Amino acid sequence: MPEPSAQPKATVLLRSGEWALLAAILIAVVLTALVDANHSYWFRPLESLRDIARNTALLGIFALGATVVIIAGGIDLSAGSMIALSGTVAAATMVALAPAAMLGFKPVGPTIVAVACLASLLVGFLVGTLHAWLITAVRLPPFIATLATLVGLRSFARALCESTTAAFTPTKSAMINVSDPLFKAVRDNVWIPVAVFGLLAFATWLILTRTVLGRHVHALGGNEQAARLAGIRTDNVKWFAYCFGAMTAALAGLFYVANESVAAPVNQGRGHELNAIAAAVVGGCSLTGGVGTVPGTVLGAIFLRVVIDAVSKIIKTGADVYEGLIVGIVVVIAVTFSQVGQLAKGGRRLLSGPLGLCAIPTLALLCGAVVAMTATGAAGLASGLAALVFLAVVRAWESRGGRAPRPS
C-alpha cells in the first residue's frame, strides 16, 4: 500500500490563507485610495493610519482572547458586555476613591488610576472563572453560559454605575465621565493601544505555540475526550482560556473608556463580541476548535477594520449604519473562500433544489437593495438584475451533470 504523502506544506512566516488575507488587506487599501472621492488615503495618510490603527488595536486586543477560547473549543459571547463592565468598574472605583476629583473633572492621581485598572482586570479574572465554573462544573454549554453573561453583565454594569454614582455623588447617573490626564494621554497617543496590542499578540503567540499550556489548548479544542484520557487537566485549561478571554476584554474596556472619556455601560462595546469572533474566524480559526493562529487573528482584525474604514470613506455620511452589514458579508465571503478547495473537490452545489431556487432571488434582492441604498435606485435595479442573471447561470451550470448525488 503506498504511503499517503503527508509532507507538511512549507510555511514561510505565514500560512497560505494568511498570505491571502494580507493580499486582501492591500487590495482593500488600494481600492479605497482609488475610489474614495476625497482621496484621504493620498492626502491625509497619517490621519487615516491613526484611525485604523486605533480601531484595530482595540478590536484586536479582545479578538486575541476570543482566539484562545475558540482554539480551546469554546465560545465567549460576553466580550462586549465585559468591555462595558470593565470600564464601569474602573470608573466606579475612581468615583468611590476620589468622588470630588471625578465630579470636578480633575486628576485623580496615578495610584487611584492604577487601582482602578487592576480592579477591572480582577473582575475580568472573576468573570472568566465564573464562565469556566458554569461550563465545567455545572456543565452548561459554553454558548449558554456566555449568553447568560452577555445579557447579565451589561445589566450588572448599569446597576453598578447607578448605585455607585448614587452613593458617592449628588445625582444618580447612567454614565461616568473620566477625564484623568492619564486616560487622556492614552486617547491622544495612538501608539499606546497599538503597543499594548502588539505586546499582547506576541505574548499570546508565545503561549499558544511555545508553551505546554498552549499545546494543551490546541489538544483540548482538537479532541476533548482524548485530551482528558491523555492525562491533561482539561478543566484547568478551560479555566485559563475563559479567563484569558474575559481579561483581554477587560483590558479593551479600559481603552474604550480612555478613547471616549466616559464609562457608559448602556452601549459601550455593544455587539463587539461578534466582531471579535468574526476577526478570529476570518483569520482562520475553526469554531469546532483546535485550529487557529495569532497572526491570522491579527490580520483578520486589520482586514475587518480596513474594510469598515473603506466603507466609511466611500459612503461618507452615516457609514456606521452599514458596519454590521459589511462585517456579515465579509465573514461569509472569507469563510466561503477558505472552503473553495472543498467546494471544488466534493462537487458540492450551492444553488441546487428548491432551496437553491429560492436563494437566487434572495441574494439578488440583497445585492440590489444594498446598491440602491448606497448609490442610486437605478444602479440598484441594474445590479440586482445582473446578480439574478449571474446566479441563474451558476445554477444552470451546476445542474449540467444531472441529478445531484444523494447526500450520505
Partner 1 sequence: MTAGTSDLAIAMRGIGKRFPGVVALADVTLEVGRGELRAICGENGAGKSTLMKILSGVYQPDDGTLEVDGAAVAFTGTRDAERAGIAIIHQELALVEDLSVAANVFLGRERRTAAGLIDDRTMEAECRRLLALLECQVDPQARTGSLRVGDQQLVEIAKALSLDARILVMDEPTSALTETESARLERIIARLRDRGTTILYISHKMDEVFRLADRITVLRDGRHVQTVDRSATTPAAVTGWMVGREIAGHEFHRAAARGPRLLEIRDLTLPWPAHPRGYRLANVSLDLHAGEILGIAGLMGAGRTELLETIFGAGEPTWTGSMRLRDAAVRFTHPAEACAAGIAMVTEDRKRLGLFPDLDVAANVSLCSLREATRGGLLDRGREEALVAGPIRDTGVKTPGPHAAITGLSGGNQQKCIIGRWLLTKPAILLLDDPTRGIDVGAKAELYQLIDRLCREGLGVILTSSELPELLTLADRIIVLAEGRLTAEFSRAEATEQKIVHAATGG
Distance CA 250, CA 52 (A): 21
Residues 379-408 that bind partner 1 (CB under 8 A): 406
Residues 252-311 that bind partner 1 (CB under 8 A): 290-291
Dihedral (C-alpha) 27, 28, 31, 33: value to the nearest 10 degrees? -110
> Could you count the other beta carbons within 10 Å of the beta carbon of residue 308?
22
Name the strand (E) or helix (H) holding 160. Answer: helix 142-168
Choose which of 137, 139, 225, 340 interacts with partner 1 (CB under 8 A): 225
Distance CA 289, CA 7 (A): 23
Distance CA 15, CA 19 (A): 6
The residue behind cell 485598572 is 117
Minimum separation from the CB atom of position 224 to partner 1 (A): 10
Choose which of 230, 357, 369, 396 interacts with partner 1 (CB under 8 A): 230
Phi-psi region of 390 (alpha: psi -120 to 50; beta: other; left: phi over 0): alpha
Q: Quick one: which segment of 197-205, 214-222, 257-265, 351-359 binds partner 1 (CB under 8 A)?
A: 214-222
Between 347 and 386, how does the x/- string for binding to partner 1 read (CB under 8 A)?
----------------------------------------
Minimum separation from the CB atom of position 357 to partner 1 (A): 23
Minimum separation from the CB atom of position 277 to partner 1 (A): 19
Minimum separation from the CB atom of position 225 to partner 1 (A): 5
Number of DSSP helices (H) and strands (E) in the chain, helices first: 18, 2
Q: Quick one: which segment of 57-65, 109-117, 219-227, 371-379 binds partner 1 (CB under 8 A)?
A: 219-227
Question: Would you count residue 231 as binding partner 1 (CB under 8 A)?
Answer: yes
Minimum separation from the CB atom of position 206 to partner 1 (A): 7
Q: Quick one: which segment of 58-66, 101-109, 227-235, 260-268 binds partner 1 (CB under 8 A)?
A: 227-235
Q: Which is nearer to partner 1, 223 or 374 (CB)?
A: 223
Cβ contacts of 308 within 8 Å, gap of 6 or more: 55, 323, 326, 327
Minimum separation from the CB atom of position 208 to partner 1 (A): 11
Q: Which is nearer to partner 1, 217 or 334 (CB)?
A: 217
Q: Which is nearer to partner 1, 230 or 369 (CB)?
A: 230
Question: Would you count residue 80 as binding partner 1 (CB under 8 A)?
Answer: no
Distance CA 224, CA 232 (A): 9
Question: Would you count residue 318 as binding partner 1 (CB under 8 A)?
Answer: no
The residue behind cell 475558540 is 70
Cα dist from 366 to 206, 361, 371, whole Å: 43, 8, 9
Residues 174-213 that bind partner 1 (CB under 8 A): 206, 209-212
Distance CA 32, CA 309 (A): 9
Please, what is the Cα angle at 218 between 217 and 221, to 5 degrees? 85
Distance CA 283, CA 154 (A): 28
Minimum separation from the CB atom of position 68 to partner 1 (A): 15
Choose which of 40, 136, 223, 338 interacts with partner 1 (CB under 8 A): 223
Closest to 284 (Cα-Cα) out of 241, 244, 337: 337
Q: Which is nearer to partner 1, 50 or 228 (CB)?
A: 228
Distance CA 153, CA 297 (A): 26
Between 2 and 31, how does the x/- string for binding to partner 1 read (CB under 8 A)?
-xxxxxx-----------------------
Question: Would you count residue 171 as binding partner 1 (CB under 8 A)?
Answer: no
Question: Would you count residue 218 as binding partner 1 (CB under 8 A)?
Answer: yes
Cβ contacts of 240 within 8 Å, gap of 6 or more: 213, 217
Q: Which is nearer to partner 1, 226 or 369 (CB)?
A: 226
Return residues touching partner 1 (CB under 8 A): 1, 3-8, 206, 209-212, 214-215, 218-219, 221-223, 225-233, 290-291, 406
